[in-house]
Amino acid sequence: MLHSTNRRCFILSTLTGAATAAAMLDPTDARAVEPISRSKGHHFKLSLAAYSYRDLLQGNPPRLNLVDFIDDCATFGLDGTELTSYYFPKAPTEAYLRQLKGEAFCRGLDISGTAVGNDFCFPPSESRNNQIAHVKRWVEYADMMDAPVIRIFSGDAKPGQSAKDAHRLAVEAIEECCEHASKFGVFLALENHGGLTSEVDDMLAIVREVNSPWFGVNMDTGNFRSADIYGDLAKLAPYTLNVQVKIMIHPAGKPDQPSGRSTRICPALAWGTVV
């Protein structure tokens, strides 16, 4: 699918843009407000997100299950598999999570991470408590699977809520969840995915304010809609833990384009997840 030489160059250069913090970040003296420390050289690995199989993993019954997906990732010769939370049983047991870990290991794969759907902009309420509890619960699930990172979302301002209040609520919730994640050695990575993260400067304002060494960015190469998408991605790169690679970009005022510009974002990535 990624057959264009220019496109391949861009993807590989993007994949060299964000180091895995689990191996390269010292959590005792680093903070997300600072760019992530990199080691020299290239060590990127490729993973596939279960979200790419969404049409196959949903339905009653679904055509495939997560074990089938893991098997395909191994068949494709990938290094890892991202087990997106949307396709798990509603309340997965520890035995089920350990089984997935074993299935991946026996096929020579790492579980590169997982993802949750969350909205941290709710004001103090049962809804907000539920969102925070959901992320914390998935931190524990990720630990059981040896998944090093969870991609999370900011949410968006609610009716009548100022952007300033929404920002504050998101930062506070992320910090609370990071504190819980620190107990399990799991990183939380904020994805540029609409809401408060639609514009790179607004997203970076969140990233730089969260005070936790267990936090960073999940760079999605297809989610910005600005006039200078590659410039926006370059701004995120110093804080990036994981890159989610898409083959299309959506520049403002222009038709959708293949992500084919061979621009070096920055060196030394560990995980790039193809979607």
Residue 12's pLDDT band, with cuts at 50, 70 and 90, is: very low
Mean residue pLDDT across the chain = 86
Mean pLDDT of 213-220: 96
- Flag whether pLDDT at 5 surpasses 50: no
Name the pairing type of β-strands 257-258 and 248-249.
antiparallel
Is residue 236 one of the residues assigned to a domain? yes
Total structural domains in the chain? Answer: 1
pLDDT digits (tens, 9 = 90+) for 23-46: 334 444 445 558 887 777 767 789
Is residue 31 one of the residues assigned to a domain? no
What the block records as the tokens of 182 is: 């620190």
pLDDT digits (tens, 9 = 90+) for 41-73: 767 789 999 999 999 999 999 999 999 999 999
Residues comprising the chain, all counted: 275
What the block records as the tokens of 154 is: 């900011």
- Structural domain of 64: 5-26+36-274
pLDDT digits (tens, 9 = 90+) for 62-111: 999 999 999 999 999 999 999 999 999 999 999 999 999 999 999 999 99
Mean pLDDT of 253-273: 59
% of residues, the chain, pLDDT over 90? 72
- CATH number at 246 reads 3.20.20.150
CA 190/CA 216 separation, integer angstroms:
6
Mean pLDDT of 120-133: 98
CA 45/CA 271 separation, integer angstroms:
5
Residue 253's pLDDT band, with cuts at 50, 70 and 90, is: confident
Is residue 242 one of the residues assigned to a domain? yes
What the block records as the tokens of 142 is: 């990720």
% of residues, the chain, pLDDT over 70? 82
Mean pLDDT of 223-246: 92
Is residue 57 one of the residues assigned to a domain? yes
Lowest-confidence pick of 72-76, 253-257, 262-266: 262-266
Closest CA to 196 of 158, 240, 146, 235: 158
CA 65/CA 18 separation, integer angstroms:
30
Which residue do the tokens 């699918």 mark?
1
pLDDT at site 267: 35
Is residue 193 one of the residues assigned to a domain? yes
What residue type is assigned to position 268 of the chain?
A
Is residue 159 one of the residues assigned to a domain? yes
- Flag whether pLDDT at 242 surpasses 50: yes
